[in-house]
Chains A and B, each alone.
Chain A
C-alpha cells in the first residue's frame, strides 16, 4: 500500500483508502458519520441492552421472590446482579442519553453536525465493542461477580480468581474511551459551532444539561480509568495497589471509584432533567419558569457533585471529620435539585396542560425523582446512614432516581422527539398504557424496598431466610417487576405498530407539538443536512418567537404558521462530510486487545494492527471522494450524503475538522 502515490495525487485515492460513497442499507449504517444516525444507533443498541439488563433484573426478582430461593445459585446470582448494574448504568442509561445528545444537540444549537463526525461514529462503535465484550463474559461462563462497584480486595486475584473481573475492568475501559471521546467532541461542538446569534444563554436547557454532563464525563472518566488500570495491574502483573498484606489501603479503590461514581450519577440524571425541561413547557404552553436558575442549578449540581463522593463511604472507616464534611456537602446538593423540581411545577402552574404521553412521563419524573431525592436526603445524615447504607433502602433510593428520574425522562424524550427522528408519532393510546404500567409496576417493585431496607434486608444477598420478615414485600416487588416488563413490551409494540401505521398515513408534518426550540425548524424526519440555511438566532426559544408575538395587551398571538416558519428540507447545495469505515475498524481492535490481555498476548497483535491501520487510514483518507456524485441528493428512500461546494460557517468548521486531524 503506497501512501506516497496517494499524497502526490490527492485527487486519486486508492483502494482501501477510497472513501465510501453514500450507500443505503447496512453499509450506510456501518459507515455513517451523521450524528442523527449515530444517535439512532445508540438508542437502538441501548434498548437491546435494556432487554438484557431487564432479564437480569427479572432473574434477581425471581430468586428473591421467596425465602431461600433456588432459582439461581449463589455464584450465578452474584454474576447476575453485577451484570444487571453494569448493563443498566453503562449500556442503557448512558447510551440512551448519548442517543438524545447525538441526535438533538447539533440541531438545538443550529449546526449541521458535531465538530468531529468520524470521532462521533468512533464513540458509538467503541461503546458497542465494549458492551459486547463485557457480555461475552456470559458466553464464556465467567461474567464478573464482584458487583458493579467492584470493591477491592474482593476483586483482586486471590478472592476473584478467574477472568470475571478482568472482563469488568477491560470492558469498562473500552466503554470509557467511548464516553471520553464523545465528551470532547460535544464540548467542542457546543463551544464552537452554535448558530449565529446563539449565545450560551440562548441555548435550550437540554443542551446546557448535556454540556454539563460532557464536562462531568471529561473529568470523571479518567479517574475510573486510573482505578481500572490499577485493578488490572494488581490482577495481572502482581502490583500492590489493593493488597493489604503488602501495606496497601483497600479504601483507595473506593475513593477512586466514587470520585468517578458520584459525578456519574449526575451524568445519569442531568440529560433527563434537560428533556423534562423541554417537554413540560411545550405541553404547558408556557416558557420554562426560571431559565437562568435552571441553567445555574444544573451547573451547580455539576460542580457540587465533585464534593460529595465519600457519602458512599460513611461506614467505611474514613474517620468522623471526613464523614461530617461529606454529610454536610451532601445535604446541600439537595438545594439546586429542589429548585428544579419547584421550577418545573411553577412552569405547569398557570399553564394549559396537554396530557400527551410525553407529558405524563415528564411529570412522572417530577414526582418519582422527588421520592428518590428525599430518600437521598435521609441518607445524607451520617448517623441515619449507618443504619440505611448497604440495605434495600439504598436500592430503593437509586432506583427511584435512575428509573423514576433518568429512565422515565428518556421515555418522555422518545415520545416527544420520535416524529423528529422518524417522521411519525408514537401512538398515544398504547403510549398511555406504556406509561401507567411502567409507573405502577415501578412503584410496586421499588416502593416496598424502602420498607425492606429499614427492616434490615441487606443488599447483594442471594437469598434470605424466613423469619426475618422479608417475605411479603419481596414477593410484592417481584410481581411489580413483571408489570414493568409488560409496560416495556407495550412500548416495543407501540414502536412497531406506529411504524406500520405510518406507512398508510400522511406524514406528520412540521412541528406536531407546537414546540419551542431550533430542532423543530427542520421537517420531520430531519433531512440529512439538517438546516436548509443556518438560523440567525435572536432569542431563547427562537422557534417559538418566530411563530408567536405579543399584542398590545401582552397576550400571545400567532404571527406565522409552522409551515411558514419551518424549512422544507429542499436545499441542494449543502456540503456534508463523507462517511467512513475507519471508526468501526478501529473499534473492532479493542476486543482483540481485551481478549489478548486475558488469554494470550498473541491476540493483542491483530487488535493492535486493526487500531494502527485504522488510525493511519483515518488520517490519510481524503475529505471527499472526488469520484462521488456532484450535488446533494435526497433519495426518496433515505438520505444520501453528497459532496460539493463548501457552504456556510458551520460546515466550514466541519471541513476543518476533517482536514487536520490531530495525531
Chain B
C-alpha cells in the first residue's frame, strides 16, 4: 500500500513538475522554445500551449485512473470469488473510439489553420538606401548552411532572376556575412534556405521553428522580430563531426540601426596603414585568401570559390562587426570589449584542435602552420576588417 501511494505521489509530482517547468520557469535558456520573442514563434506557441495542457490533463486522468483502479480493485484476499467476467461494452468502446477521433478532428482544424498561416508569405517591401540610392527591397535573405557554419547573403534587388540552383556557385551578393544574421525589426523577412554539402537545419527558437537546409534545394521560410534583440540558434539536423558546434545568431535592429549596418557592410575592405597589419595582410594574401574573401581586396573566393569541397569560406570583410567566430562558438570580444586575442590566436594556430573538422578532406579550416609572429600580424590585419559593434551587442551575444 505504501509503495503504491508513494508511486502516486512521485509520479504526480513529476507530472506537475513537468507542467510547471513547461510554463516557463526556466529563464536562463536562450534557445527556449517556450518564451517566444517574435510574432511567428508566438503563433506557434499559441497552438502548442493549449495542446500541452490537453496532453497534461489526459495524462493526469489516465494515470489517476490507473492509480484509482489499482487501489480499488486490488486483491485484498477478502474473497476468492471471481469478479464479473465482463467481455466488453460495445457502446462504450465505440464512444471512446469516436470521442478521441472527434477531439483530434477539432485539434486538426486549429493545427491546419496555424500550419497554413506559418507557411504563408506576407512580406512588405522595405525602403533602404543602398549605395546612396533609394531601393525598395523585398526582404529575403539567402541562408546557406555548410559544414560547420552559416552564411547569410543579402540581395537588395530582390531574388527574382537570382540563380540559386547551385549553392556552391552563388551569384555575387550585396552583403555576404557569416554566423550573425542582422534583420530590421517589425518586418517579416523571407529566408531562402539551402546548403552546400549535407543537410543542416536553421533554427532560431525564440523567433520561429526550424527549417532544413537541403543541398541543391531552396526551402522558403521566414523570420520576424518585433523587438530589437539577440536571438540564439543551433544547427538542428545532424551534419557530422561538429554539428554541436554549428551555431548562429539573429540580431534584430531598429530600421534606422539596420540602415547604418547596411551602409557599413557595403563598404569594401580598406588597406591598413599599421605595419603589423600590413605584414598580416601579406600573410593573408598568401594563406587565407585562397578561401576567405575581403570585398574589393581579395576576391578570388567570391569569384572562383574556396579551396574546399563546398567551395566557400566565411567572408571576412567585416569580421570585427560580428561578435562570435568559428561558427558561433567563440566570443570575438571579451566582456570588457577587448578582442578575445587568446582564442583568436588559438584558432589561427590550429583550427582543427579548437573545433573538430575534416581539414584533410577539405571540409573545415586546416592548421595553417603559421609562426607566432605571423599569427600576431594576421590578428593585427583582421582587426582592420570591420568596426567593433556596440558594447550592448557584445554583452548580449556572449556564447562562452
Do the two chains touch directly in the complex (Cβ atoms below 8 Å apart)? yes
Interface set of A (CB-CB < 8 Å, partner B): 73-75, 78, 146-147, 151, 153-154, 158-161, 244-245, 247, 249-251, 284-287, 289-293, 315-317, 320, 323-324, 327-328, 331-332, 334-336, 338-339, 341-343, 345-346, 348-355, 363, 366-367, 370-371, 374-375, 377-378, 380-391, 436, 440, 443, 447, 450-451, 454-465, 467-470, 548, 554-556
- Report how far A160 CA is from B243 CA in the complex, Å: 14
Closest chain-B Cβ to A533's Cβ sits at a distance in Å of 28
Contact B59 A374 (CB under 8 A): yes
Contact B29 A460 (CB under 8 A): no
* Most chain A CB atoms below 10 A, which of B81, B217, B234, B235: B234
| B100 neighbours in A (Cβ, 8 Å) | 334-335, 338-339
Closest chain-A Cβ to B200's Cβ sits at a distance in Å of 10
- Report how far A371 CA is from B14 CA in the complex, Å: 12
Contact A383 B209 (CB under 8 A): yes
| B47 neighbours in A (Cβ, 8 Å) | 381, 383-384
Closest chain-A Cβ to B290's Cβ sits at a distance in Å of 20
Interface 9-mer from B110-118, B171-179, B252-260, B333-341: B110-118
| A349 neighbours in B (Cβ, 8 Å) | 69, 73
Closest chain-A Cβ to B161's Cβ sits at a distance in Å of 22
Interfacial residues of chain B within 82-115, with CB under 8 A of chain A in the complex: 82-89, 92-93, 96-97, 100-101, 104, 107-108, 111-112, 114-115
- Report how far A464 CA is from B235 CA in the complex, Å: 12
| A390 neighbours in B (Cβ, 8 Å) | 201, 210, 236-237
| A451 neighbours in B (Cβ, 8 Å) | 18, 21-22, 26
Contact B244 A315 (CB under 8 A): no
Contact B52 A378 (CB under 8 A): yes
Q: Does B219 contact A (CB under 8 A)?
A: yes
- Report how far A317 CA is from B214 CA in the complex, Å: 8
Contact status of A555 and B208, CB under 8 A, knowing A374-B59, A447-B18, A455-B34? no
| B203 neighbours in A (Cβ, 8 Å) | 458
20 sample A-B contacts, Cβ–Cβ < 8 Å, listed by A number: A154-B240, A160-B240, A244-B216, A293-B97, A317-B219, A331-B104, A332-B104, A335-B97, A335-B101, A339-B93, A353-B70, A363-B66, A377-B104, A440-B10, A456-B29, A456-B205, A458-B243, A460-B238, A464-B244, A467-B400
- Report how far A372 CA is from B378 CA in the complex, Å: 54
- Report how far A371 CA is from B63 CA in the complex, Å: 9
Closest chain-A Cβ to B395's Cβ sits at a distance in Å of 13
Chain B residue at smallest Cβ distance from A544: B85
Identify the 6 closest CB pairs spanning chains A and B, nearest first.
A386-B209, A456-B31, A461-B244, A469-B29, A556-B82, A290-B88
A75-B356, A290-B93, A389-B236 known; 7 new pairs, CB 8 Å cut-off, are A353-B73, A383-B111, A383-B209, A456-B29, A467-B398, A548-B82, A555-B81
| B239 neighbours in A (Cβ, 8 Å) | 154
Contact A317 B212 (CB under 8 A): yes
Contact status of A455 and B18, CB under 8 A, knowing A339-B93, A342-B96, A381-B111? no
Chain B residue at smallest Cβ distance from A159: B198
Chain B residue at smallest Cβ distance from A457: B31
Residue of A367, A380, A440, A456 near B234 (CB, 8 A) is: A456
| A443 neighbours in B (Cβ, 8 Å) | 11, 14
Closest chain-B Cβ to A126's Cβ sits at a distance in Å of 30
Interfacial residues of chain B within 51-69, with CB under 8 A of chain A in the complex: 51-52, 55, 58-59, 62-63, 65-66, 69
Contact B244 A289 (CB under 8 A): no
| A154 neighbours in B (Cβ, 8 Å) | 198-199, 238-240
Chain A residue at smallest Cβ distance from B51: A378
Contact status of A458 and B97, CB under 8 A, knowing A154-B199, A250-B214, A386-B208? no
Q: Does B389 contact A (CB under 8 A)?
A: no
| B28 neighbours in A (Cβ, 8 Å) | 467, 469
| B32 neighbours in A (Cβ, 8 Å) | 454-456, 469
Interfacial residues of chain B within 202-233, with CB under 8 A of chain A in the complex: 203, 205, 208-212, 214-217, 219, 232
Contact A151 B199 (CB under 8 A): yes
Contact A465 B44 (CB under 8 A): no
Contact status of A287 and B199, CB under 8 A, knowing A352-B75, A468-B29? no
